[in-house]
């Protein structure tokens, strides 16, 4: 059995931010800007591939079903999420300082 990872179907992500606090590894972060021609007015969340360990804790937190599991092949030497050409710029999220969103 291969390793599980999580990916986001961007058109289904409303940018509600509910999933962010469900990731213990801070692998879910908002994009720094909203891509053009997006139907939602708020920027989407992305999976930061280097930080996602595939624990799947976040899967049930998305009200639109935008988060989904992806399987890596048994003999894969790296996550398919790492095949993205260049990690996009993300917004900082305050998790643990005063007023931070903490852990769900």
In the complex, the smallest distance separating the C-beta of residue 97 from ligand SF4, rounded to whole angstroms, is: 20
The answer to whether 8 contacts ligand SF4 (rule: CB under 6 A) is: yes
Name which of 41, 55, 32, 52 is nearest 13 in CA terms: 41
In the complex, the smallest distance separating the C-beta of residue 3 from ligand SF4, rounded to whole angstroms, is: 11
Which residues in the 45-84 window bind ligand SF4 by CB under 6 A?
A: 45, 47, 52-58, 61-62, 64, 66-67
In the complex, the smallest distance separating the C-beta of residue 98 from ligand SF4, rounded to whole angstroms, is: 23
Stretch that binds ligand SF4, among 31-39, 41-49, 74-82, 88-96 (CB under 6 A): 41-49
């Amino acid at each position: 059995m291969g390793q599980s990872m999580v990916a986001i179907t961007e058109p289904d992500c409303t940018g509600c931010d509910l999933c962010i606090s469900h990731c213990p590894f801070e692998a879910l972060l908002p994009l720094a800007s909203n891509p053009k021609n997006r139907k939602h007015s708020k920027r989407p969340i992305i999976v930061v591939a280097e930080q996602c360990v595939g624990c799947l804790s976040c899967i049930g937190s998305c009200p639109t079903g935008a988060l989904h599991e992806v399987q890596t092949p048994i003999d894969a030497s790296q996550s398919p999420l790492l095949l993205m050409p260049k990690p996009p710029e993300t917004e900082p999220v305050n998790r643990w300082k005063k007023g931070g969103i903490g852990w769900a």
